[in-house]
Copies of this chain bind each other. A is one copy, B any other.
Amino acid sequence: MHKGLTLQQIIEQAARQVEEDGLHNLTLTALADQLHIKTPSLYNHIKNMNDLKNRLASFSLAQFSEALIHSAMGKARDDALFAISDAYLTFIKTHPNLYWAIIEVPDPSDSDFKKHSDRLLTFLFQILEAYALNEEDRVHAVRGLRSIIHGFTSLQLHHGFNMHHDQEKSLKWILSAFLRGLKEKNESCDGAGQPTE
């Protein structure tokens, strides 16, 4: 047989199966079965399992970036950031296993993966340009945003917070606090604040 199967189709099928069954239930046998080929035939398209997971991570990250960037269209500052965090939460809720594929990418320095990750980073930098921060502070601020959103969502995804209080409200609350603190840095209206120690 000679199906002319394409790498793209393989990745997409892998993504479907991962979405359904989770990343660590992805096996070459199951993947080949769904594609109606024999397992070793996959090696005509991929180097090995790690390679497949890298490509799957890139694929997922591309969709993810797209969703985030799209969500902030025509918005700026806090508005944009809240939209992004909403999109982030939405993606995690609708594609938890794909997000996990991004987190567990075997080789984060893979060139294709890095391309998409850099794109997302640059995008965040641009959003933060609207705030009056010097170069170094902006680096810190971007790291802060990523940390907050990724940390919140991945904790929720894997470990779950106690569900008594609303999730989305929490994330918004946290982001608001961070942004308040970020703005206040330049203004130093802290004269009357509670003493630090």
Contact = CB atoms under 8 A, between A and B. Distances in A.
Interface of A: 76-79, 103, 108, 117, 131-132, 136-137, 139-141, 143-144, 146-152, 154-155, 158-162, 164-165, 169-170, 173-174, 176-185, 187, 189-190, 192-194, 196-197
B154 A154 contact: yes
A143 B161 contact: yes
Nearest to A185: B177
Contacts of A131: 194
Nearest to A149: B151
Q: How many copies does the complex hold?
A: 2
Given A132-B194, A194-B132, A154 B148 contact: no
21 contacts: A79-B197, A103-B158, A140-B165, A140-B169, A143-B155, A144-B173, A147-B147, A147-B148, A147-B155, A148-B174, A150-B151, A177-B178, A177-B182, A177-B185, A179-B181, A180-B184, A180-B185, A181-B184, A187-B193, A189-B192, A189-B193
